[in-house]
Structure 1
Amino acid sequence: MKRYCAAALLLTVFGLPAFAARAGSDAMPFLKLDSGARAAALAGAYCASGDDALSVFYNPAGAAVAARKEFVFSHTEWLQGIRHESLGYVHPLSRNSTVFGSANMLVSGEMVKFNAAGSSVGSFSANDYAFGGGFASALGRRFYGAIGMKLFYQKADGNGATGWGGDAGLLKLYEDFRFGFSASNIGGRLKMGATTFNVPLMLRTGGALLINEQYWVMADVTKPGAGDATVGAGSEAEFEINRTDAFFVRAGYRTGRSTNAGSGLTLGAGLRNRDLRFDYAFAPYGDLGDSHRFTLRYAFGAKRTAFERTGKIRDYGTLDKDIPLSKRKKQVEMEKKKTLGEFNW
């Protein structure tokens, strides 16, 4: 019985069906959850530090600085077979433009259904989906922006609701510092019949600092829907194994009361093997217990022309993951002595 109650609580907190919510209240609150193990291990501080397919869930402008085409898939297993799945993709079109897509899903297993008298009357499942796509581009020298659209769909016990929303983000890069701002689920609504329910608007702003070309320190402020703003801070260290492989260690902390989901200490690790990268994260979720996230990333295809022409490290404020750490440090010193290349606008 305790497991059923915990699972019911999980659905209520992160997957509240629109037909069970009050008009004007947030539906699909699972969209407040972290997507991806790397970001979760950094306490969600990914608005400025993201430069890959995972960034489309935090700040889509990060897709504009992705070096190559990339897929990312993330899986989180909750109680009673409830799963949180995320899929992202970035596709550079040119040195200045990128398209991206995403899918974010909360899928439940079969749950026991009870009537008013407390008797079992069968089973049901509740599934939430958010599908998105958009365009990211350079807006100026080391300044990037992105816009996107989302389709929301929710189905539970034979009832369904649909809606639309938008995403937008900005990212500014300096020598070893980044600053970002994003808004997710803009104008998001779920509509069932004549009744409309809000999808939580996620506002994020944050910064990230690269130290010694090996360590990241980042922090974000997040305003989740009608909830209180939270602060998440994290750090990441990279340790080179050989020319193509590396190991990553991460830790973070998110503010909030202990009963709030997603607050407290977060930990994680990652392993890169050539074009593949595997990440793991541990994060506490208050009364709902602890979560374990697993993410697989795959990068492929040629790098952007701009990366090859001017050097990714200095133009994009991040590290070229195809170059060993020891060689990267030498490259950075060489780049500092050169005049920075400009984009062709």
Structure 2
Amino acid sequence: MCTNNKIIQALYLLLLSGIFTASNATQGYASLKIAIGARESAMGESGVAGANSATSIRWNPALLAGGGIYDLSLHHTRWLVGTSQSSLFLKRSIGPAAIGVGLIYFSGGEIELRDSVPSTEPLATYSFSDLSLAFGGALEIVKGTKVGLMARYYSERLWNYFGSSWGLDAGMSFSPLQGLNFGVSMVDLGFDVRLKGEVFKPPMTIRAGGSFEREWSKNLATSFNLDFHYRPYDGDPGIRSGLEFRLFKILALRAGVKLLYSDGEKIQLIPPTEFLTFGAGIAHKGVSVDYAFVPYQEMDLGFTHRISLNFSF
């Protein structure tokens, strides 16, 4: 029973985290706020200028241009008490351009249905899930300047209710110097969807930031990310930053910070029990495995764990 209550609390956070909005538009698909990619998550959930795999589809579609001819990224997040998110991204480079596809699926697990009269067995069980599909591309229009655009389809199911919608992601990146990159993106700009008589919007997020990479020697390289984000519908700002050390071109150690959030009424610093993130990864011949540990102590829900598998060839 305790676990079931925590599942309801976790879904409550997801479903109602956008209920306080700047434009009176109740927000749906709140699971899309979960940062994707163990590398980016370990670096404070930052990546608008520094995402470096097919995962960039989610952070900034402009970053698709460049890198390997083919990139495949698989991700799984063990979210909160029985809920999880899985995703897949694939990129194909074609000269200065690239095309990509992505899929994100969130499962809320099985939830017990009970009435006001206590009973040993539930009346039934039901589930909650989100699905998002994306397709688009990116182009390096001049050296160091890239633009990207993705079309996105959303569907959400809660018990016997179903809703769907369409949206767009757009992004741009600019690299004035080797190793230095700036990026800006807008993701989940979507149309309204109706679910059980309510009107929802996807959680549009605007990001801007920079990244800096430097190879200090054959055996040591570093990357630094700094992101600013804002979610207009719920007035939620954020500052995210992270650092990565790559050792011997095989091992990566990562840490990051999350500095701001909004509780719907005012902007606050993230509590000390939640603002640090950590992770590590190993890479060899175009294959990498990454892990991230992200605390989420609100309502005593515990920690989240994220793992990614990337192929570049």
Taking structure 1 as the reference length, the TM-score comes to 0.79
The one-letter code of the counterpart of 1:61 is A
Match of 2:71 in 1: 70
Higher helix proportion? 1
CA-to-aligned-CA distance 1:182-210 (integer Å, 9 cap, x gap): 00011343234875311111110010112
CA distance, structure 2, for counterparts of residue 258 and residue 179 of structure 1:
25
Q: Secondary structure at the match of 1:27?
A: coil
The one-letter code of the counterpart of 1:107 is S
Distance 1:33 1:193, change over 3 A: closer
CA distance, structure 2, for counterparts of residue 118 and residue 147 of structure 1:
52
CA distance, structure 2, for counterparts of residue 298 and residue 35 of structure 1:
16
Match of 1:234 in 2: 242
Q: Does 1:49 align with 2:60?
A: no
CA contact (8 A) 1:143 1:171 kept: yes
Match of 2:227 in 1: 220
Q: Does 1:252 align with 2:253?
A: no
Task: State the shift of 1:228 in Å.
Answer: 2.2
Task: Flag structure 1 segments of 5+ consecutive residues without an equivalent.
Answer: 301-345
CA distance, structure 2, for counterparts of residue 14 and residue 88 of structure 1:
23
2:200 corresponds to which of 197, 215, 221: 197
CA distance, structure 2, for counterparts of residue 298 and residue 66 of structure 1:
11
Q: Does 1:211 align with 2:214?
A: yes
CA contact (8 A) 2:274 2:295 kept: yes
Matches within 5 A, 1:143-222: 143-175=145-177, 176-192=179-195, 195-212=198-215, 214-222=221-229
Task: State the shift of 1:111 in Å.
Answer: 1.4
CA RMSD of the aligned region, Å?
2.4
Identity of aligned pairs, percent?
24
Match of 1:142 in 2: 144
CA distance, structure 1, for counterparts of residue 129 and residue 253 of structure 2:
33
Match of 1:336 in 2: none
Instruction: Work out which of the two has the higher radius of gyration on C-alpha atoms and give 1 or 2.
Output: 1
Count of equivalent residues: 292
Task: State the shift of 1:9 in Å.
Answer: 1.3
The one-letter code of the counterpart of 2:106 is L
CA distance, structure 1, for counterparts of residue 81 and residue 93 of structure 2:
39
- The structure whose RCO (Cα within 8 Å, separation 6+) is larger is 2
Distance 1:15 1:272, change over 3 A: farther
CA contact (8 A) 1:17 1:155 kept: no
Match of 1:309 in 2: none
CA-to-aligned-CA distance 1:284-322 (integer Å, 9 cap, x gap): 11323211111111122xxxxxxxxxxxxxxxxxxxxxx
2:303 corresponds to which of 267, 276, 290: 290
Task: State the shift of 1:2 in Å.
Answer: 2.6
CA distance, structure 2, for counterparts of residue 157 and residue 219 of structure 1:
39
CA distance, structure 1, for counterparts of residue 274 and residue 259 of structure 2:
6
CA distance, structure 2, for counterparts of residue 220 and residue 27 of structure 1:
24
2:283 corresponds to which of 272, 279, 283: 272
CA contact (8 A) 1:75 1:295 kept: yes
Taking structure 2 as the reference length, the TM-score comes to 0.87
CA contact (8 A) 1:165 1:189 kept: no
Task: State the shift of 1:173 in Å.
Answer: 0.9
Task: State the shift of 1:82 in Å.
Answer: 1.4
The one-letter code of the counterpart of 1:279 is D
Task: Flag structure 2 segments of 5+ consecutive residues without an equivalent.
Answer: 19-23, 261-267
The one-letter code of the counterpart of 2:5 is C
CA distance, structure 2, for counterparts of residue 228 and residue 138 of structure 1:
31
Distance 1:283 1:200, change over 3 A: same
Task: State the shift of 1:258 in Å.
Answer: 7.0
CA contact (8 A) 2:80 2:303 kept: no
Q: Secondary structure at the match of 1:219?
A: strand
Higher strand proportion? 2
CA contact (8 A) 2:26 2:199 kept: no
CA distance, structure 2, for counterparts of residue 108 and residue 228 of structure 1:
23
The one-letter code of the counterpart of 1:248 is A
CA contact (8 A) 1:66 1:90 kept: no
